[in-house]
Amino acid sequence: MKKTVPAESASVSIDAKINELGDWRGKTLAKVRAIIHKADPEIVEEWKWRGTPVFSHAGIVCTGETYKNAVKMTFAKGAALEDPSGLFNSSLEGNVRRAIDFHEGDRIDEAALKDLIRAAVALNLAGKSRNRL
């Protein structure tokens, strides 16, 4: 049986993760999180897989993982998304997912990232509407 963490608890857990990191990774995760919510105010925050921030709207849009040298945004259906700005720089060999690795000092192209998030949400919504037919 899957254990679901309520959205309020997930947000609190993500806040705690950001504060716990206390370095550039926490700041980057906080900035990415803010961009995600600006791109789509209906995004729901989840806490899955033993501590991974997940951002969903009609399905998983992306995750916000943190590693020693990177903050990684993995888009669940990234391979199906157009990426005209070339943001995807990781997990490029897969058939489904694509990721963006942010490293210390990287500049985030907020406009391009918002476009990518909106495209991921639109893809999820299109899939949901097809399933209803």
CB 78 within 8 A of CB 96: yes
The model's confidence at residue 131, banded by pLDDT at 50, 70 and 90, is low
Within-domain flag for 2? no
CB 26 within 8 A of CB 13: no
Is pLDDT above 50 for 32? yes
Q: What is the pLDDT of residue 31?
A: 98
Place of tokens 């963490």: 5
Which residue would you say has higher pLDDT here, 9 or 72? 72
Count Cβ atoms below 10 Å from residue 40 Cβ, excluding itself: 17
The stretch 11-35 carries a mean pLDDT of 96
62's enclosing H/E stretch is: strand 60-66
CA distance linking residue 4 with residue 23, whole number of Å: 29
End-to-end CA separation in angstroms for the chain: 29
CB 78 within 8 A of CB 99: yes
What domain range includes position 20? Answer: 7-132
Q: What is the pLDDT of residue 94?
A: 84
Q: What is the pLDDT of residues 45-55, one digit of tens each?
A: 999 988 999 99
How many domains are contained in the chain?
1
Q: What is the pLDDT of residue 129?
A: 60
Within-domain flag for 77? yes
Within-domain flag for 91? yes
| pTM recorded for the entire structure | 0.90
Helices (H) and strands (E) in the chain, counts: 3, 5
* DSSP label at residue 90: B
The CATH number of the domain holding residue 57 is 3.90.1150.200
The model's confidence at residue 1, banded by pLDDT at 50, 70 and 90, is very low
